[in-house]
A and B are shown apart, each in its own frame.
Chain A
Amino acid sequence: MFRYIWRYSKRDQIAIFIVVIASLPFYFLSLDLPKQIVNDAIVGQAFRDGVTHTTFLDLGFDLPAFLGGGTVTLFPGISVNQIGLLLGLSFLFLAFVCINGAFKYWINIAKGALGERMLRRLRFDLFSTVVRFTPDTLRAVRPSETATIIKDEVEPIGGFIGDAFVQPLLLASQAATAMTFIMMQSVQLGLVVLFIVGIQFTVIPRLRRIQLRLGKERQLASRLLAGRIGEVVEGMDAVHAHGTGRWEKAEIGERLYRLFDLRFRIFKWKFMVKFLNNFLSQLTPFFFYSVGGYFALTGRLDIGQLVAVIAAYRDLPPPLKELIDWDQQRLDVQIKYDQIIQQFVPEHLLPEEPGISAGINTTRLAGPVSIEKLRVLDSNGATLVDDISVSWEYPASVALVGNPSPAPHAIADVLARRIIPAAGTVTIAGQDFLRLPEEVTGRRIACAGAQPRLFPGSLRHNLLYGLQHKVTPADSRLPDTADAAEYIRIREALRTGNPLDSPDDDWLDHATIGMLSDKEIDDMLLENLALVGMGDDVFNFGINGWVDTARYPALADKIVEARNHLRARLAQCDMSELIETFDESRYANLASIGENLLFGASRDPLFNGRGRARNPLLLRVLDAEGLTGDLVGIGARIASTMMEIFADLPPDHPLVTQFSFLASNEMDDYERALSRWSQQGLRGLGPDDRERLLAPSFDYIEPRHRLSLLDDALRARILKARRHVRDEIARTDGQWNLEPYDPDKLCHNAMLRDNLLFGRVDLRIANARARVTKVVVDVVNDLELRPAISAVGLDFEVGPGGRMLTARQRGGADLVRCIVKKPDILVIDGALSAFSDTDADAILECLHTLFSDRCLVMIGRDETGLSGFDTVITFNDEGSFSQREDAAGAPPRRQSALT
């Protein structure tokens, strides 16, 4: 570990050390000054014999005798009287305080920066190693464990790095000084001190070693805990499906107990060691007083010396203690470091990708594929397939079929770089495929598997993921841009061995798709989504999405236009009563009380759901308008009705979760709040109870919930409060992000659909929703807004692992991701299983057309539905295979059995 630290930080370490040394004289001077102030200026030693003036600040030094002796005067000094001397010395003291502070500040900053830089480097190195794990290694790696290691476990190492070299040197020198001073006063006492210090230095680290061993166990246990929790969370549906929640809880509980037990044992040791350490420190003065006192009494030591020794000893324990602490920290960090490194030295790593300065490798793989004597092992090392030799021409459409033979799947895995074959060669377009760098295979070969892996982010980001290849080579020199922030970013990256690329750069692989504008890219993606039958999906994402007007500047006006068209169209078809349009001067009956109060949209949680009931602005307005009591009353009526209606149902019953206004876990709280409300009114409610009772009222819609809680007078007062809210928002100027509804403007915080409707559909009228939707679709088509709205759908957040999408949508997204990178070879390995048979056939047909001049490889279970393929290679379970040629292709090769 020290080697690692030293290798990457020696310059900074030395710089810090030099500054520390440089600061020492000032430190000692500042310690010495108080004595001078007291002795010379206050007690007046310098003025003892009637001298009224003395020189101040006479800087100079005596030359040693071999240079001829004499005194060199740097500054003759100023003649001052006693008060002057006092003030002068005091100000000098102040100056030293400032200088010391400045030194300390610089040293701390430098140490901190050093630590953070090393931390950044270490973390980045670890992450780079993870990226280079071979597929085999990855199978054994638990994601959340790796995450805790890189994020948490490295942390203390960073804190230690700044102190790694400087601290022990400094402390040791301080301790040595004090020790020498004691020795000079009295050798016997010095020996006593040395003896006790010796014990401290031998026994305590030994005891601490046990403590450290426990600490190591704790680290392992907590890492396993993190890994385990991650696994359980990921497999939560399996836990629910098998009803094994209790087992999982017991398992985690046991781990927590073990952690507690380890921690507790660590505590016991820690405080034991602390006790011993304190005891030994206190023991020394005991010897001073007894032995030193005895010496003094017997005259072998004068009192002055004894006092001086005791005074010097006061300076000894702090550095010693810190030195022991440092040693402890060193051991601790060393163990952590070893632990971490151990995790990150798997047997096989992939070769390092080319350095930052290399441009992109544009090798193409448009050529015949030839696989010779391929052998693939499974994860246990057993032979999965052996001695497979197949080849096909280019362009080609090839189907590899085999059930139960694992060969087709194994070939797909090899081409997708999911498996490294144990033996054999793969030649594509005359190149050794297995030696090609990932950026070539990744760009030129696409493999759509049955379980696509999507990343959290927008749908667009996921679709373009396969094109994230920066074409321009990164510049490894410091840019001479005037942009200071960019300069610092790159300088830091260089200092810590991090990449100079910024994720904000243009990463799109323009070598493949050409220079396209954002709109052209969106169009291309939408076209491909339509190809895999996701046109409607992405349109629905769009219409239920939020418009980013920075990206689509023209869309806002178009949506307002569509809104007006829709209104006109509904009037034309005599359907106006289906929507109650928002009108600032009227209470919207079909909207909730909360919506009527705000009359605008916000994505701030304080303006949505329960948050509204604790929104200070809203509460202020309600109080000012005298509405709090009314709304709490409404909320209380709703709450008591809910309790009456749902009283006999279990709290988590689907009907309760679907219809009740109240959270089932708050029933008891509501009961108490209601009884307080009925007995004491508003005054009896604390803020929590008020929030509880207020919240249901905000969701209340009279025509829908039909509890007859609203009358015209109250509606009018709510309207008045609406204006008050608006004024209040305007007054607080930007503090609250509530965007009011405006018939002539797009509301950015509202969904696109709500922006089109600009009102609420009257669900009391039969089929209202379906009829309105139909008109909306018509208007959208007439105005040719569909592509623009679908483009908004590309902003849809797919969630972790794409969980916000259905399996079919994930499969479609993965296919599009594979298609848009325009690979030379596309392998379809189960990607169509998420689709219905008719959809799958249609997609396959499109793929045939798309890849008619490239290579399409289909992995199938049987030969049905593969009529479109030129070549069908069927593997039977003995490992032999037959090849059907419909068009030009390689002649059948040898047939072989498993060895």
Chain B
Amino acid sequence: MTLETEVQVLRRVPMFRGLDKGRLKLLAFTSERVSFPGGQILFNRGDTSDAAYVILDGRADALLDTPAGAFKVAEFGAHDIVGEMGVLADTPRTATVRAATDLLVLRIDKQVFLELLNQFPQISIAVMRELAHRLERTTIRLAETAPADGASPSHD
């Protein structure tokens, strides 16, 4: 897999969809390609957020430890980006992420990612747009589920 194919993958990541080819190439070039064998942990909940990962190939699970054992909260596949929230918010990892199959990712170093956001408003706007979309989706989902969940006391 070459830089060109990685650029093709990045182009399909929603967060980077609007970026022109030069930026995507910069993003790909400044990232490392790393492989994880199936079952290996990418990072644990509570670790410092040092990088974001774009999945090139394979699947990964986000897990939360519960008294009943690991509980899968999300699943990621090709073109998904993982761990970017911690990098943006500068908070520790909120969940553990584990490779479900053999996994090939593009590791974007935190410092590099923030540097890119600093330098290119275009990337910042793309990231903001994606976050806004997510928030919107979450709000809609909450709105859909809230009335059904009558047992919980309502908040202002």
A residues sitting closer than 8 Å to B (CB atoms) are: 641, 644-649, 653-655, 658-659, 703-708, 763-766
Selected contact of A655 from candidates B4, B25, B35, B119, CB within 8 Å: B119
Closest-CB distance, B4 to chain A (whole angstroms):
8
Q: In the complex, are the beta carbons of A765 and B2 less than 8 A apart?
A: no
Contact residues in A for B30 (Cβ distance below 8 Å): 655, 658-659
In the assembled complex, the Cα of A649 lies from the Cα of B118 at a distance in Å of 11
Interface 0/1 of B108-132, CB less than 8 Å to A: 0001100110011000000000000
Asked if B19 is at the interface of the complex by the 8 Å CB criterion, the answer is no
Q: Which residue of B lies closest to A660 (CB)?
A: B29
Interface 0/1 of B33-56, CB less than 8 Å to A: 111110010100000000000000
In the assembled complex, the Cα of A645 lies from the Cα of B120 at a distance in Å of 13
- Contacts A706-B6, A707-B2 hold; do A765 and B115 have CB atoms under 8 A apart? no
Q: In the complex, are the beta carbons of B35 and A766 less than 8 A apart?
A: yes
Closest-CB distance, A764 to chain B (whole angstroms):
6
Q: In the complex, are the beta carbons of B2 and A708 less than 8 A apart?
A: yes
In the assembled complex, the Cα of A542 lies from the Cα of B74 at a distance in Å of 46
Q: In the complex, are the beta carbons of B25 and A644 less than 8 A apart?
A: yes
Q: In the complex, are the beta carbons of B119 and A765 less than 8 A apart?
A: no
Closest-CB distance, A577 to chain B (whole angstroms):
10
Asked if B1 is at the interface of the complex by the 8 Å CB criterion, the answer is yes
Asked if B22 is at the interface of the complex by the 8 Å CB criterion, the answer is yes
Closest-CB distance, A575 to chain B (whole angstroms):
12
In the assembled complex, the Cα of A703 lies from the Cα of B29 at a distance in Å of 12
Asked if B26 is at the interface of the complex by the 8 Å CB criterion, the answer is yes
Asked if B135 is at the interface of the complex by the 8 Å CB criterion, the answer is no
Asked if B32 is at the interface of the complex by the 8 Å CB criterion, the answer is yes
Interface 0/1 of B83-126, CB less than 8 Å to A: 00000000000000000000000000001100110011000000
Q: In the complex, are the beta carbons of B36 and A766 less than 8 A apart?
A: yes
Selected contact of A649 from candidates B28, B29, B42, B119, CB within 8 Å: B119
In the assembled complex, the Cα of A766 lies from the Cα of B32 at a distance in Å of 10
Q: In the complex, are the beta carbons of B25 and A765 less than 8 A apart?
A: no
Q: In the complex, are the beta carbons of A655 and B112 less than 8 A apart?
A: yes
Q: In the complex, are the beta carbons of A765 and B35 less than 8 A apart?
A: yes
Q: In the complex, are the beta carbons of A765 and B34 less than 8 A apart?
A: yes
In the assembled complex, the Cα of A641 lies from the Cα of B4 at a distance in Å of 11
Q: Which residue of B lies closest to A765 (CB)?
A: B35
In the assembled complex, the Cα of A658 lies from the Cα of B4 at a distance in Å of 21
In the assembled complex, the Cα of A658 lies from the Cα of B1 at a distance in Å of 23
In the assembled complex, the Cα of A646 lies from the Cα of B119 at a distance in Å of 11
Q: In the complex, are the beta carbons of B35 and A645 less than 8 A apart?
A: no
Q: Which residue of B lies closest to A659 (CB)?
A: B30
Selected contact of A644 from candidates B1, B22, B32, B120, CB within 8 Å: B22
Q: In the complex, are the beta carbons of B26 and A646 less than 8 A apart?
A: yes
Q: In the complex, are the beta carbons of B34 and A648 less than 8 A apart?
A: no
Interface 0/1 of B5-40, CB less than 8 Å to A: 010000000000000001001101110111111001
Closest-CB distance, A545 to chain B (whole angstroms):
27
Asked if B146 is at the interface of the complex by the 8 Å CB criterion, the answer is no
Q: In the complex, are the beta carbons of B115 and A654 less than 8 A apart?
A: yes
Q: Name, among B1, B26, B116, the residue most crowded by chain A CB atoms within 10 Å (CB to CB).
A: B26
Q: In the complex, are the beta carbons of A764 and B34 less than 8 A apart?
A: yes
* Interchain residue pairs A-B with the least CB separation, the first 5: A708-B2, A706-B3, A766-B36, A645-B26, A706-B2
Q: In the complex, are the beta carbons of A645 and B22 less than 8 A apart?
A: yes
In the assembled complex, the Cα of A648 lies from the Cα of B120 at a distance in Å of 9
Residue pairs across A and B with Cβ atoms less than 8 A apart, 11 shown, are: A645-B26, A653-B115, A654-B115, A655-B26, A706-B1, A706-B29, A763-B32, A764-B32, A765-B34, A765-B35, A766-B36
